[in-house]
Structure 1
């Protein structure tokens, strides 16, 4: 076994337990001899993208506050030194893909597990987070008396890769087999993309295969865009109605994750310590009637033209009959000529005017770092105290970023100020800057100078 590797002052990586396209997963501890955790270290190309890191940290701060029995808890986000890592609870189980491969699921267990995932999605959607990569590999399963207990993990990882994959590797964020049509078209993902992926996963669990099984990525994407799978015999009518709604090509035709939690029976299976259910949402939209289902017009009659809308099919009313032509008079002709002359004169004047400047579009809020002044003191040997003004009331406040000589630390509003570092080398200089991550369109101020001092326990606050 390799020697334990300190990841940050309070985390230690111990052994590699998995790896994939995004990075590596390590078993670690919160300090030597501390609680076991799972640490997912993302590939360096993702961690070096400043905008991607800012987006992920913004969502990560939300995820650390989510407490749900079917969501793997996120303990911390680590960023610094060209590294981005997610510290999560260590779940001793298997992922759903492995459980399916060994035939551990029947119909009843599959429906139970789908209810767990739907509840997890409802929780993160209510917090404003979109998973973007729902698939069996990202569902961890433990067994309680022979019954599956599912927990969703790896939320937000696809958000870090957004832009990286599309521009550098010419592919899409997410897994092709579970990719919603609007994502394939390059549209911004919403919570509906998670519902679509859950629909694909439900089809796979209940039918034993995916709805689209093409060999190439191009053919698979075309199927997501254009094909509507038929109901397989393994899926009963009630569950097929739910799955077909999840696989709707239009995002607004899909149910919410909260709807699915109820439809899969998840609301009755919640444990006593689970959070209360989310407010009820409108019922599932009914499928539009197909042309084959419409009644045929009587013989010799002309069928009315129909409009495809989000509601029921409606006939376009016939145009009113034209009135009989009137006897032409001379004065309307003269009036028309005068009107045309005036119109041409006014039009010429208008044409000669400079074109009006189009209204500038209102900029959308973006993630920005605002630097704020800091002072540092050493209240005790080996300890540095970083003081700065409370900026949590700033418009669009997300988090503080404290950058020191050795690491970067992210703090929520209730964690600062001040910030204290311990177990430092008393004979070395330690420098600090503090930035505020905000989501707004304000211009950031000039960067503040770092504040430096030794952790020697003396009162001096400046570096000579």
Structure 2
């Protein structure tokens, strides 16, 4: 076992100073040779000093932690090697590298995500092409999914209202752009320590208003516990399909709430309104639902 001593670092600093001087003062040809040798040494040595499970993509991002391991895609927490910033990177599994449907969906997800900018929508930052041709989506890192937070502790009524305000505000922007998210659930809602900063993520199965999933060769897409009846039936979807999922989400949040009051009863009534089986019985869009949420938060049920 070796131990680091100040003298060791001083020697490293001295050698680096000499190398830097040679790079700055040498002829162009000499500089290029030195740069190539330094780069080669770093690339060969990197594997010995980093975790064997880590991967580097696009020579810029180190995949540090597997966050989600799906049937066709994986999501990692990644760190930018130069900036030190954290990101989420989504990519197809290697054995799906030649799947044309998945590739089309991921590139389409990137286009939708990069077109939307809102405080309650997770930012899609870039698209990478991996060495084997697979696309990889680079997104902002937000720390936790709502699904994980719900298992940690009960929510207050104020937190339930805050989450729903964030979700409906984000949905309002999505709907205004002509899209239906189609996959709203605690798994796709991201937050840091403050639930008021919650953001909607994952546009992998989002649709333009009036479209169906079978137009993208998908027999069914979504999560059964949150998908609307019309989505389950493969019908054309509009904003009200997302509102059904929002109602299911509100019911789930209230089941994790440790408060009982007139306000909670009003929110239960709103959850029932949003999750009506008949789309015509739901609010018209997220803006209308957000208005109803404001009223539910302020007045007792029946007032």
| Corresponding position of 2:289 | 260
Aligned 8 A contact 2:121 2:201 in 1 = yes
State the partner residue of 2:159.
Answer: 109
Give the C-alpha shift of residue 148 in structure 1.
Answer: 4.1
Q: Trace 1:46-61 onto structure 2 (pairs within 5 A).
A: 48-61=98-111
Higher helix content, 1 or 2: 2
Structure 1's 36 and 100: CA in aligned 2 closer, same or farther, altered over 3 A?
Answer: closer
Q: Structure 2 CA distance, aligned partners of 1:191 and 1:119?
A: 13
Partner of 1:183: 231
TM-score by length of 2: 0.66
Distance 1:46 1:185, change over 3 A: farther
Alignment-derived partner of residue 205 in structure 1: 253
Q: Deviations along 1:217-236, whole A, 9 cap, x unmatched?
A: xxxxxxxxxxxxxxx99974
**Any conservation in 2 of the 1:27–1:37 contact (CA below 8 Å)?**
yes
Q: Which segments of 5 or more consecutive residues in structure 1 lack a partner in the other structure?
A: 210-231, 269-464
Q: Which structure's CA Rg is the greater one?
A: 1
Q: Structure 1 residues 2 and 188, CA, compared in 2 at 3 Å: closer, same or farther?
A: farther
User: Does residue 1:14 correspond to 2:43, yes or no?
Assistant: no
Mapping 1:75-154, distance limit 5 Å:
75-79=125-129, 81-92=132-143, 94-144=144-194, 148-154=196-202
Q: How does 1:298-309 map to 2 (within 5 A)?
A: none
Following superposition, the deviation at residue 198 of structure 1 comes to 0.8
**Contact 1:13 / 1:26 at 8 angstroms: preserved in 2?**
no
What are the residue-to-residue correspondences of 1:175-324 with 2, within 5 Å?
Answer: 175-208=223-256, 236-255=264-283, 256-265=285-294
Bigger mean CA offset, 95-104 vs 196-205:
95-104
RMSD of aligned C-alpha atoms?
Answer: 3.2
Q: 1:77: Cα distance to partner?
A: 2.7
SS of 1:37 mapped into structure 2: strand
Instruction: State how far apart, in whole Å, the 1-side matches of 2:58 and 2:198 are.
Output: 30
Report which of the two has the higher share of strand. Answer: 1
In the superposition, the TM-score normalised over structure 1's length comes to: 0.45
In 2, Cα distance between equivalents of 1:191 and 1:13:
38
